[in-house]
Amino acid sequence: MVTINSCLNVGFEVFKVEVQIGTSRGYGVKIIGLTDRVVRESKHRILTALHLNAYKVSGQRIIINLSPSDLPKTGMGFDLPIAIGILLAQKQIESKLQLERVIFFSELNLNGVLKANQGTVNCVQEMIAQDFDFIVLAYETRECLNHLNQEKLVFCKNIGEVIEFVATKKKIYQDFALPRPLKHTKNDFDFSQILNQEEAVHAAQVAVLGHHHLILKGNPGLGKSMIAERISTLISRVDHIDKNEILGIYDLLNEPNSKSLSDPVIPFRKPDHSITPVGFKGRTQGKLMPGEASLAHGGVMFMDELNFFQRDILRILQAVLDARRVQLKKGSQNFTIPADFLCVTGFNVSESKYYPKMIPPSLIDRFDISVFLDAVDHNKRGNTIVRNSKKLRTEINEARTFQLARNSKLGAGLNSRLDAQQTYELCKKTKTANLLFKEALEANNWSFRRQLKVLQLARSIADLGFAEKIDEFHLSKALTWAP
């Protein structure tokens, strides 16, 4: 018996799968181990690919077991390990590898060419974490994996190159693809196009700095959507999450070699009001597909006119903002997919403290900032200070370094992620600011969550000015912006 290692992507989890090949007298090929139709059909692809590459598989009965047997097996990634296992079991090739330290994961065309398949990024990340020596993959996945340690990755174009690597332990392609940083979705979107809305631009800066969810309010046509669409251009550092998670989520789409993987961008999602709960949260019927909430992970979700969305969507949104992940269920299996994004919404209202009745107060309580956009005064247009996204982004990055240097002493991250003890420890106030905060507590019937959010927001406003303590100006601004 020969055992070849492969892997299986189930939702956002990855499992190692042993491909066990046994031979005996008789004829035929049988694949067992709780496989689906796609896996069972793979024997026809594999046998044809081996035949067209001058390898004959005949004269023996071949049993292929995919272990563990109680884990449902799906996808085409087992084609390559099965093919290599058959050749080794029939002693048609020899190996210089420690096979227990190698992962094979790729689909095979009928002519033996290796193809990329869904779930490659997640599988490779997990197998690298488990410290396997080599991971053999299709060459066309090279650009998608340029952010990973490629010393362990072996890229091959066809099964002949895989066999050569197995026999010699020498990589065919030695050059590495260079990693590409996350970039912004549209270069023609810039904050220099926003005029006469300094207060809203300042709020957008603070929102990105501390990862505070933002509400933009005002009459139609004042620039709420323009500001929201440009907020992703202020993000260049994703300190609070792993960039690999963003790529892993897009890897779950039915585009295994898509541009979003090889040339990643800061996610910006703008779901339509007609979106269904399944479209927002994710689909489990058939292949697991991430919804809008997960596709916004690490970026910005803009939900314009929140009151027009279904009530079920609002309930899901509230749960996602709390948990920063999505829980999906398929039969007895539970899937968890990250959904940590900066949520921005806009309301067409004429009063600064008004919210549409359709919005639950508990959902509003999850937002940190609410800014009312004033009508544009065209007489002041020539005196407006215009700053582009690059300058605003630089200021945010410098303030983010200041913020994390302080918060990391208590093992904390961004200001909006502080717990109660960390909030009171890190949000030091001046005497006048402390008196102002006590007056605000007496005047407002705030929840405990809102009290913490006001302090965290004031801390972010102070960080943008590199202030060690929260003063009266910082706290006044936070009180003004409180939803």
pLDDT digits (tens, 9 = 90+) for 164-175: 999 999 998 876
Point out the least confidently predicted range of 79-93, 225-239, 348-362. Answer: 348-362
pLDDT in tens, 182-237: 665 555 788 888 888 889 999 999 999 999 999 999 988 888 999 999 999 998 86
- In which element (H, E) is residue 280 found? helix 277-281
CB burial class (10 A; 0-12, 13-18, 19+) of residue 307?
middle
Residue 257 confidence (pLDDT) above 50: no
Q: What is the mean pLDDT of residues 474-481?
A: 96
Residue 289 vs residues 68, 116, 283: alpha-carbon distances, Å: 24, 18, 5
Distance CA 479, CA 208 (A): 18
Which neighbouring-strand residues pair with 177? none
* pLDDT at residue 240 in the model: 56
- Residues 298-325 pLDDT 10s: 999 999 999 899 999 999 999 999 999 9
Question: Domain coordinates of the chain in residue numbers?
Answer: 2-168, 191-397
Mean pLDDT within 54-77: 89
Least confidently predicted of 25-39, 208-222, 356-370, 382-396: 382-396
Mean pLDDT in residue range 290-295: 94
442 touches 479 (CB < 8 A) = no
From 50-54, 352-356, 397-401, 449-453, the region with the lowest mean pLDDT: 352-356
d(CA 307, CA 305): 5
Q: Which of 151, 140, 147 is nearest to 122 (CA)?
A: 147
pLDDT digits (tens, 9 = 90+) for 405-439: 999 999 999 999 999 999 999 999 999 999 999 99
| pLDDT computed for residue 88 by the predictor | 95
State the Cα–Cα distance between residues 176 and 154, nearest whole angstrom. Answer: 10
Fold of the CATH domain 191-397: Rossmann fold (3.40.50)
Q: How far is CA 51 from the centre of its chain?
A: 41
Instruction: Give the integer Cα–Cα distance in Å for 164 and 390.
Output: 49
Question: For residues 242 and 429, what is the distance between their CA atoms, to the nearest angstrom?
Answer: 32
Q: How far apart are CA 326 and CA 107, in angstroms?
A: 29
Q: Right CATH number for 2-168 from 3.30.420.310, 3.30.70.580, 3.30.230.10, 3.90.550.10?
A: 3.30.230.10
pLDDT at 181 over 70: no
Summarised one tens digit per residue, pLDDT across range 340-352 is: 999 999 998 877 6
Question: How far is Cα 386 from Cα 251, in angstroms, rounded to an integer?
Answer: 39
pLDDT in tens, 97-152: 999 999 999 999 999 999 988 888 889 989 999 999 999 999 988 888 877 777 89
Coil, strand, or helix at residue 18? strand
Q: Which residues pair with 370 in a beta bridge?
A: 215
- Whether residue 290 is preceded by a cis peptide bond, meaning omega within 30 degrees of 0, is no
Asked if the domains 2-168 and 191-397 are classified in one and the same CATH topology, the answer is no
Confidence of residue 50 (pLDDT cuts 50, 70, 90): very high
pTM of the predicted structure, to 2 decimals? 0.84
Long-range contacts of 271-279 (CB under 8 A, 24+ apart): 271/301, 271/303, 273/305, 273/308, 273/309, 275/309, 275/313, 276/310, 277/310, 277/312, 277/313, 277/316
Angstrom distance (rounded) from CA 25 to CA 60: 5
C-alpha 78/C-alpha 85 separation (Å) is 11
Looking at residue 304, what DSSP letter applies?
E
Least-confidence region, from 44-53, 85-94, 140-149: 140-149
Beta-carbon contacts of 318 under 8 Å, excluding residues fewer than 6 positions away, are 360, 362, 363, 366
- Put the strands of the sheet holding 214-218 in their side by side order: 268-269, 300-304, 342-348, 214-218, 369-372
Name the residue among 250, 105, 113 with its Cα closest to residue 182: 250
The answer to whether 113 touches 46, Cβ cutoff 8 Å, is no
